[in-house]
Structure 1
Amino acid sequence: MMSDVKGIGVSPGAAAGPVHRLAPPPALPAPAFRGASLERSAFVSAVASVSGDLNRRADAARDEVAAEVLRAQVLMVEDETLLEAVTDLIDGGADAPHAVAEALAVHRAAFEAAGGYLAERVSDLDDLRDRLVAACLGLPMPGLPDPGHPYVLIARDLAPADTAGLDPAQVLGLLTAEGGPTSHTAILARTLGIPAVVRCAGILSVPDGTLVSLDGASGLVSVDVSASDATAVNAGEQARRARAAASTGPGRTADGHPVALLANIGSARDLTAGVEGVGLFRTELLYLDRTDPPSLDEQVAAYRDVFAALPGRKVVVRTLDAGADKPLPFLRMAGEPNPALGVRGLRVARRNPDVLTTQLTAIATAAAAASAEVWVMAPMVATAAEASSFAAACRSAGLPTAGVMIEVPAAALRAPSILRGVDFLSLGTNDLSQYTFAADRMCGDLAELLDHWQPALIALIAACASAGAEAGKPVGVCGESAADPAFALVLAGLGISSLSMAPRSIPAVREALAAHTLDECRTIAKAALAADTPEAARAAAPA
């Protein structure tokens, strides 16, 4: 029996309880071709059944992020390219289940070869395959376990349809053998407030009913814990959540130093009451799986909804973050040998300038009709020239406050030059980690390099914060590191002026800041910055 296991913590919080696993999908049977007409009919019925089920799950989802993910799944299962590929295989003599499996295997291989964002979508394709195969065979897909008591769910990975239906009152935590920090499992777990650890080697060998405890921040999992230890873990977590829920007001240290606590959102439906503002408004949901870009009027309406909900408060809009490793059909971009290092983010405007121009016009139009303080930032900026060009485009569109995301080391190293042309910086620490350590976020073997406590990452953050202080301009963090209460102390001590995260994470970070003075945060930050290992850096912060 294992004792301690280390994975990647992707949703903070602690939990303990008996494990129960997700049942496997129906196995693919031996080929049994009944004629092209019958097989085509079975496939068409399966597509209708699966898309209908996913749409119903989307309508019933507790959170709009989950609903949007499921609706994207519907678009995938109804994709004309997939439908044609399966039909061609059936016409060639394959039965419906095997045609589905073969067609999706081709898509799967392409996604894996692309790496980055697309590699993270492989589990989504696997889930669609399993659901279509089950429907072709007239069999139900296994649902979540129902042991009659709260439990920790373990699985190889979770599909969006399963994760979106989780009940936080029953599912205490999630442990998966695969997945990554930006997989749908991670995104939805954070949205639902369920502690989660992914890339947890060997977890599938743990028998059902075994008591485990997990820490969704550090990624540490203890197997075969005692009942008293499990009770203590859950009591401690409940007390922490109660304290966090009771905290209100703006973010500030114990001696009153302000650190704005902002929300990461994808639409107005993600907003929660009492947020100080939005530090990352992801605009990608408007563009997903479309053959044509959203119209100017459609964009104006979506942005206006968010701005109207936050009168007088700051909303930082990130322009379209898509491209080679996050492909959108309407961009019609050619394949690249290494999409994560290709044409993405602001670089898309080199080939498709109208996309950026239309988006900036829409943001400005919506901002003019609202009292929100609208800031705009561009992703994937590498040079001062790119930053200045983007700022000029914003101001030409009537948007006075323009900034850029720091996601690549080149930009961090030249932060003083970049700040001469823009009004603020926002550090996306997820990508900054990936590019700093040459470690793909989906590579479990390199998980320790993606730890935001890595000294090299802290040094880059410190350099940007110092540049901001010298220029008198704000520097924020909108990566997942901002949601770590202990790391928030380091960021505040380095001089970061705002932290943006999933709304559910804000109370715990507010509580951590309120318990320490700015001088204490600076002492913690200095010790973390001087550390040689992430373990030593983490030890500098209070538990």
Structure 2
Amino acid sequence: MMAQLRGVGIGLGVAHGPVARMAEPLPAPDEAPSALPVDEEKSRVREAVAAVARELEERGEQAGGAAQEVLEAQAMMAEDPTLEDEVDQRLDEGKTGERAVFEAFASFRAQLEAVGGYLGERAADLDDVAQRVIARLQGVAAPGVPDPGHPFVLVAKDLAPADTALLNLEQVLALVTSEGGPTSHTAILAREKGIVAVVGVAAAADLPDGDTVIADAAAGVVVTEPTADELTRAANRASARAAAADAPITDGALKDGTAVPLLANLGTPAGAAEAVALGAEGVGLFRTEFLFLSSSSAPTIEQQRESYAQLLTAFAGKKVVVRALDAGADKPLPFLNDAHEENPALGLRGLRALRASEDILREQLTALAEADAQTRAAGNGADLWVMAPMVATVEESEYFVALAHEYDIRTAGVMVEVPSSALMADQIFASAEFASIGTNDLTQYTLAADRLLGSVAGYQDPWHPAVLRLIREVGAAGARTGRPVGICGEAAADPMLAVVLVGLGATSLSMAPTALADVRATLLQYSLDDAKAIAEAALAATDAASAREAARAASAS
């Protein structure tokens, strides 16, 4: 009998097909002692760990983007010296390589979970690495994405980074997970790859292999036992969406002609060509961390200038918003902030870390200014804006803007990611020339729920009225002071939420390039008055789910 299983849809896509479930994890290895000499067991384990680490790196290189960063982090985790010591200790006790890896990884995971924050979230990745190492030691295939030999809807508890990195998009019709939220790893990668996805579907665990389902991201549901008519409607919607994506690209705007520039979030200059092809009108968030995270020391001014110049050239004549290095919390750097913190999300991160090592900030501003001057002199410059991450006070805004102007950065602004800066937006705009709202962190700090911690993923929803009210504060302050207010968090990639954000005062939206087409098409359905009315309906709700439903109801009226 037909039923609808509710979750959180990612984008507006719809797809249908037979279910194929992720394989169950390998069972715990036997506890019997090893029949091999200790040195031989150690050699086996080291070879297996190295092979898995290289495989993860290779998958990352093929996948690129956010997936590459995650997979490279997993590879480093696999070869962590502390973890190797844990394994060796158990091998010295006479355990098999498989059992030693199983126990050591479990112990290490418990240690990371106790630390919490970014490391606590990354602890879950250890399970995937351990499974891959054990499978290699046993000479069997690692559990992962199934291959039924035909297109399928992939159903899983959640997806490991290594699994999502190289999904065959010709075979995987849609993703359905029983865990995770709108800012989960799976959701972010689904947006990046343009995959139809519905996450957080608790009842998905009961979907049998082979059953045909409809994954409707626009409605946030999975339809079981659909009728022939429902399957036809889903197919027609998918075709219409594909046709809309192939239509001539126009600038972002509402139905009444109100311009809403649609920009791209990028992590490296390499993504520029695809973003331009998909209709990005510029860059709303360029994350500079890629230059720093893969190095044990800060990159030189020359290295930075070269990358920035590539980006500015790719978007010649368009707006490019660059975020100063956002290190700390989930992105610790040994040369910037390697001191242990009990709660790094509330510690020395973002602008705080840069002020503590101001030479790194000054070098970055120097490189940006030089790249700007160089590309302008060559006739292919862009409109460079630079913003500080994690600004919490008016004084921090004044500090950063003054310093940026010292280096001839013409347009300097701030990220609004904590409630204090949202509530003080009027005063912050006295110095900041623009603001960009990072909805991922703003949601995290508003609802006191670590955005990287699976156990509180249900709180990490930017539709929550408390978050929307803070965004309204910034939008209203921007309107009063004549300052632009952009959105660069994952919220901007949700088409209906994009309408709400514009209704709350956002003047531009930045997102993963693959989300541009859906957001562009949705905005064209509503006027500015419509957007304001839909936003008011969402604001009146009491929780994220009811805000989402209220917005849908208001949009249909």
Identical columns (%): 50
Q: Is the 8 A contact 1:153 1:174 kept in 2?
A: yes
- The alpha-carbon distance between structure 1 residues 448 and 126, as it changes in their structure 2 partners (threshold 3 A), is closer
Between the aligned partners of 1:29 and 1:468, the Cα distance in structure 2 is 59
Q: Quick check: 413-422 or 478-487, which moved more?
A: 478-487
2:502 counterpart residue number: 492
Q: Does residue 206 of structure 1 match 2:223?
A: no
1:360-407 deviation line (CA, Å, top 9, x unaligned)? 222222222220111111221111111111112212222121111111
- Corresponding residue SS for 1:500: strand
Between the aligned partners of 2:404 and 2:516, the Cα distance in structure 1 is 30
Deviation at 1:256, TM superposition (A): 2.0
Deviation at 1:464, TM superposition (A): 0.8
Q: Does residue 130 of structure 1 match 2:131?
A: yes
Q: Does residue 433 of structure 1 match 2:443?
A: yes
- The alpha-carbon distance between structure 1 residues 210 and 445, as it changes in their structure 2 partners (threshold 3 A), is farther
Deviation at 1:174, TM superposition (A): 1.0
Q: Does residue 166 of structure 1 match 2:167?
A: yes
Q: 1:415 aligns with which of 420, 425, 434?
A: 425
Matches within 5 A, 1:22-41: 22-31=22-31, 32-33=33-34, 34-41=36-43
Between the aligned partners of 1:132 and 1:356, the Cα distance in structure 2 is 40
Q: Quick check: 121-130 or 420-429, which moved more?
A: 121-130
- Corresponding residue SS for 1:203: helix
Q: Does residue 528 of structure 1 match 2:538?
A: yes
2:410 counterpart residue number: 400
Q: Is the 8 A contact 2:328 2:345 kept in 1?
A: no
Paired letter, 1:26: L
Q: Does residue 478 of structure 1 match 2:479?
A: no
Q: Is the 8 A contact 1:289 1:328 kept in 2?
A: no
2:525 counterpart residue number: 515
- The alpha-carbon distance between structure 1 residues 520 and 157, as it changes in their structure 2 partners (threshold 3 A), is closer
Q: Quick check: 380-389 or 479-488, which moved more?
A: 479-488
Paired letter, 2:45: F
Q: Is the 8 A contact 1:155 1:204 kept in 2?
A: yes
- The alpha-carbon distance between structure 1 residues 362 and 93, as it changes in their structure 2 partners (threshold 3 A), is farther
Q: 2:327 aligns with which of 322, 329, 337?
A: 322
Query: TM-score, normalization: structure 2?
Result: 0.90
Q: Is the 8 A contact 1:379 1:404 kept in 2?
A: yes
- The alpha-carbon distance between structure 1 residues 193 and 441, as it changes in their structure 2 partners (threshold 3 A), is same
Superposed CA RMSD in Å reads 2.5
Q: Does residue 364 of structure 1 match 2:365?
A: no
1:270 counterpart residue number: 271
Q: Is the 8 A contact 2:120 2:453 kept in 1?
A: no
Between the aligned partners of 1:204 and 1:448, the Cα distance in structure 2 is 17
Deviation at 1:2, TM superposition (A): 9.4
Deviation at 1:35, TM superposition (A): 1.8
- The alpha-carbon distance between structure 1 residues 316 and 8, as it changes in their structure 2 partners (threshold 3 A), is same
Between the aligned partners of 2:500 and 2:171, the Cα distance in structure 1 is 34
- The alpha-carbon distance between structure 1 residues 453 and 349, as it changes in their structure 2 partners (threshold 3 A), is same
Matches within 5 A, 1:51-130: 51-61=53-63, 63-130=64-131
2:378 counterpart residue number: none
Q: Does residue 540 of structure 1 match 2:554?
A: yes
- The alpha-carbon distance between structure 1 residues 328 and 178, as it changes in their structure 2 partners (threshold 3 A), is farther
- The alpha-carbon distance between structure 1 residues 69 and 11, as it changes in their structure 2 partners (threshold 3 A), is farther
1:296-338 deviation line (CA, Å, top 9, x unaligned)? 3322222222112111111111122221343234435333333
Paired letter, 1:423: E
2:198 counterpart residue number: 197
Q: Which runs of 5+ in 1 are unaligned?
A: none
Q: Is the 8 A contact 1:180 1:186 kept in 2?
A: yes
Q: Does residue 310 of structure 1 match 2:320?
A: no
- Corresponding residue SS for 1:16: strand
2:178 counterpart residue number: 177
Q: Which runs of 5+ in 2 are unaligned?
A: 376-380
- The alpha-carbon distance between structure 1 residues 56 and 445, as it changes in their structure 2 partners (threshold 3 A), is closer
Q: Quick check: 425-434 or 135-144, which moved more?
A: 135-144
Q: Does residue 349 of structure 1 match 2:350?
A: no
Q: Is the 8 A contact 1:70 1:160 kept in 2?
A: yes
1:16 counterpart residue number: 16
Q: Is the 8 A contact 2:181 2:458 kept in 1?
A: no
1:182-213 deviation line (CA, Å, top 9, x unaligned)? 44322221111112233332322221112223
1:472-501 deviation line (CA, Å, top 9, x unaligned)? 110011112211222222222333110000
Q: Quick check: 234-243 or 444-453, which moved more?
A: 444-453
Paired letter, 1:56: E
Paired letter, 2:345: A
Between the aligned partners of 2:456 and 2:248, the Cα distance in structure 1 is 37
- Corresponding residue SS for 2:328: coil
Q: Is the 8 A contact 2:22 2:154 kept in 1?
A: yes
- Aligned residue pairs total 542
2:222 counterpart residue number: 221
Paired letter, 1:401: T
Between the aligned partners of 1:165 and 1:417, the Cα distance in structure 2 is 46
- The alpha-carbon distance between structure 1 residues 298 and 216, as it changes in their structure 2 partners (threshold 3 A), is farther
Query: TM-score, normalization: structure 1?
Result: 0.92
- Corresponding residue SS for 1:17: strand
Paired letter, 1:6: R
Deviation at 1:444, TM superposition (A): 6.3
Q: Is the 8 A contact 2:11 2:515 kept in 1?
A: no
Paired letter, 2:178: A
- The alpha-carbon distance between structure 1 residues 300 and 12, as it changes in their structure 2 partners (threshold 3 A), is farther
Between the aligned partners of 1:494 and 1:26, the Cα distance in structure 2 is 49
Paired letter, 2:271: D
Deviation at 1:445, TM superposition (A): 7.0
- The alpha-carbon distance between structure 1 residues 210 and 431, as it changes in their structure 2 partners (threshold 3 A), is same
- The alpha-carbon distance between structure 1 residues 220 and 355, as it changes in their structure 2 partners (threshold 3 A), is farther
Between the aligned partners of 1:295 and 1:99, the Cα distance in structure 2 is 42
Between the aligned partners of 1:66 and 1:446, the Cα distance in structure 2 is 22
Deviation at 1:531, TM superposition (A): 4.4
Q: Does residue 339 of structure 1 match 2:353?
A: no
- Corresponding residue SS for 1:157: coil
Between the aligned partners of 2:191 and 2:121, the Cα distance in structure 1 is 17
Between the aligned partners of 2:260 and 2:498, the Cα distance in structure 1 is 10
